[in-house]
């Protein structure tokens, strides 16, 4: 069963995810990205792996290539992430070409494994004596973690144990090497987290407790000064004592994803409390309006509270993906009916991940700034190429994030007590196995995210009886003309059931043809930042539904930095089928205030000499932020001056 995070037997997890092949997407935004990921991105990335020497590094260790190691010391991880992406793509749909590529790469990995189980092409051959010599900086366990995740994904997708056998052998070596000093092991961990969540998923795939125990060791040893003693590596404070997100953003959310997995298996209350505190402080003090995290270029790190620059925002694509990974695991733990985790997953997906991936599926952003002069452009690959295969594996696994199931009461074994939770809206179909038995097939009919009308129809019910359908009502689903509304077969849902920020719970004996209809308010809305976010003082951002908007030079005759949006200007949503594959744009009457000629050659002037602004009327056009930089280079702004 190709479930991305398999909590089927996790005693402290509430939700169970769906297999990747249980959901087929056919919506106007996500489905095209998933299709192009399969058809263009994955084959293109395979070519990059070959051309940049990453595959030759494995051939070199296997004795099939006579040449030097090429690239960065953690280049193996890019191969593993690509292989995981291919595995999820194969889980969703057979593809002989991708399967052949995957088999060829697995053969290379098998050939590069040492007799004791070790796999790392940088530390093989001439560097074999340097194994485990610099865990802080050289990412050995990080690479191992991605190998393990790829192996679990490939096994779940294909049933093959070839790569799983490689991974378990390596994981056994890691478990024999690292652990308590009292057992004669090394009390250390990697400078880049990843091994933690990988080992827990390996435990779930194999049932071997030793992998869970090693993962717990790596989580517990961090914060003890055994890595660096620095916030940068999340090593200055034990995780259970942390309150805020610190250090390298990708590493921090990977660590917390692994910790959430550990909570699902052990029920560790102090660890769960720490995760709750950190999630809250991240989302209320250290997250950009896009959902992007990691404010600082220096160290790719979280900044301080309310340190959220625009043009200098780092907001790495990998960090946004890691944020989704963590939020998804927090959702799996949650027994509440509030939508905060699913809301953030959706918002981050559309506004912090999709911008990192071009519409043609062939180029990528590493950083995702919220203001730019037109110089920042996507690249087909990077020397440090962590983001491209990370995007590919998220998109390939995306159908598995649409919905979950829960069994309402411990010990109940019939579908009467089961609940299906619908977290994301997208045209398509989901075939859902209920925990208590029975299968239900749901079809969503919608043009979301462009339109707020959503129909959820029960296509078939097999031995399911009564169950509850919980449908997310996003926290943003409130407007000046009213909040979300809904009905079942024409009978209106009570107003309290469709309040923003909760799930509408609908319990009944479902029959084929039963239909839930939702209408989510999609009127444009203005967002302002906390007063402590200095860069956004006097500025406003635009949103509609789950999408953040920006203004780009290609759509605006005025100089983008000079645009001013009056607070009382009406904002209109217009559908543009011809624009960037089809989109809804926002338009408004605005003004342009260019610097007066007297500023020429001057940096500062006395206030008494400055003339009142002579703003000229213009029309402003905003596009979804995830679509920017898919045309000719031009300035872009998310935060606009208020007038």
Query: Which residues belong to the active site?
Result: 300, 386
Q: Which residue has the tokens 């699913």?
A: 342
- Token pair in block for residue 142: 């990080």
Contacts for 599 with CB less than 8 Å, ≥ 6 apart: 605
Handedness of CA 45, 47, 51, 55 (dihedral sign): positive
Distance between CA atoms of 639 and 536, rounded to whole angstroms? 7
Distance between CA atoms of 272 and 268, rounded to whole angstroms? 6
Segment holding 66, helix H or strand E: none
Are 78 and 54 in contact by the 8 Å Cβ rule? The answer is: yes
Contacts for 604 with CB less than 8 Å, ≥ 6 apart: none
Are 90 and 158 in contact by the 8 Å Cβ rule? The answer is: yes
Q: Residue 580: left (phi > 0), alpha (psi -120 to 50), or beta?
A: left
- Closest-CA residue to 60 (of 117, 104, 126, 115): 126
Segment holding 536, helix H or strand E: none
- Edge-to-edge strand list for the sheet holding 466-473: 16-17, 403-407, 418-422, 466-473, 502-509
Distance between CA atoms of 429 and 4, rounded to whole angstroms? 18
Phi then psi dihedrals of residue 259, to 5 deg: -65, -40
- Closest-CA residue to 554 (of 640, 639, 629, 641): 629
SS3 178: strand
SS3 497: helix
Contacts for 111 with CB less than 8 Å, ≥ 6 apart: 58, 59, 61, 62, 63, 64
CA 167 centroid distance within chain: 25
SS3 526: strand
Segment holding 303, helix H or strand E: none
Length of the chain: 643
Strand pairing class (563-565; 640-642): parallel
Distance between CA atoms of 477 and 499, rounded to whole angstroms? 8
């Amino acid at each position: 069963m190709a479930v991305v995070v398999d909590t089927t037997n996790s005693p402290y997890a509430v939700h169970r995810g769906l297999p990747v092949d249980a959901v087929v997407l056919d919506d106007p935004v996500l489905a095209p990205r998933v299709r192009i990921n399969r058809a263009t991105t994955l084959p293109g990335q395979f070519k990059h792996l070959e051309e940049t020497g990453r595959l030759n590094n494995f051939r070199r260790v296997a004795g099939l290539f006579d040449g030097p190691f090429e690239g960065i010391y953690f280049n193996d991880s890019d191969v593993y992430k690509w292989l995981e992406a291919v595995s999820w793509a194969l889980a969703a749909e057979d593809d002989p070409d991708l399967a052949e590529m995957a088999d060829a790469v697995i053969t290379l990995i098998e050939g590069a494994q040492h007799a004791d189980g070790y796999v790392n092409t940088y530390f093989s051959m001439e560097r074999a004596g340097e194994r485990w010599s610099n865990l802080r900086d050289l990412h050995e366990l990080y690479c191992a973690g991605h190998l393990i995740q790829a192996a679990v994904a490939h096994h779940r997708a294909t049933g093959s144990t070839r790569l799983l056998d490689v991974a378990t052998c390596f994981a056994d070596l890691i478990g024999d090497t690292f652990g308590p000093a009292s057992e004669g092991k090394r009390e250390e961990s990697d400078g880049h987290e990843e091994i933690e969540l990988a080992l827990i998923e390996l435990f779930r795939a194999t049932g071997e407790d030793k992998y869970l125990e090693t993962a717990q060791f790596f989580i517990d040893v961090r914060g003890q000064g055994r890595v660096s003693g620095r916030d940068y590596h999340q090593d200055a404070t034990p995780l259970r004592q942390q309150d805020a997100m610190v250090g390298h953003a990708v590493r921090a959310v990977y660590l917390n994803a692994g910790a959430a997995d550990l909570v699902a298996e052990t029920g560790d209350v102090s660890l769960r409390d720490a995760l709750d505190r950190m999630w809250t402080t991240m989302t209320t003090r250290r997250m950009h309006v896009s959902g992007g995290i990691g404010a600082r270029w220096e160290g790719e790190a979280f900044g301080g509270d309310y340190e959220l620059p625009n043009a200098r925002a780092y907001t790495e694509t990998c960090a946004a993906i890691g944020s989704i990974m963590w939020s998804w695991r927090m959702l799996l733990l949650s027994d509440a009916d509030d939508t905060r985790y699913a809301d953030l997953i959706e918002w981050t997906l559309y506004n912090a991940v999709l911008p990192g991936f071009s519409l043609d599926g062939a180029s990528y952003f590493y950083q995702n700034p919220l203001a730019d002069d037109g110089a920042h452009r996507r690249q087909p690959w990077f020397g440090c190429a962590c983001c491209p295969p990370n995007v590919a594996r998220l998109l390939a696994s995306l159908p598995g994030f649409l919905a979950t199931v829960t069994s309402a009461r411990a010990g109940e074994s019939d579908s009467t007590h089961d609940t299906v939770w619908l977290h994301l809206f997208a045209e398509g179909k989901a075939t859902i196995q209920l925990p208590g038995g029975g299968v239900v097939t749901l079809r969503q009919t919608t043009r979301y995210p462009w339109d707020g009308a959503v129909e959820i129809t029960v296509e078939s019910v097999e031995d399911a009886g009564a169950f509850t359908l919980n449908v997310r009502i996003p926290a943003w689903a409130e407007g000046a003309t009213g909040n979300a509304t809904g009905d079942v077969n024409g009978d209106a849902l009570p107003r309290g059931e469709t309040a923003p920020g909760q799930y509408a719970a609908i319990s009944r004996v479902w029959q084929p043809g039963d239909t839930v209809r939702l209408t989510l308010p999609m009127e444009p809305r203005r967002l302002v930042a906390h007063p402590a976010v200095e860069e956004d003082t006097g500025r406003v951002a635009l949103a509609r539904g789950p999408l953040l908007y920006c203004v780009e030079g290609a759509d605006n005759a005025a100089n983008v930095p000079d645009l001013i949006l009056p607070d009382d200007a009406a904002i209109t949503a217009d559908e543009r089928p011809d624009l960037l594959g089809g989109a809804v744009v926002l338009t408004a009457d605005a003004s342009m205030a260019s610097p007066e000629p007297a500023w020429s050659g001057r940096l500062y002037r006395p206030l008494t000499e400055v003339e009142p602004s002579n703003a000229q009327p213009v029309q402003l056009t905003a596009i979804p932020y995830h679509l920017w930089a898919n045309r000719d280079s031009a300035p872009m702004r998310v935060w606009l001056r208020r007038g």
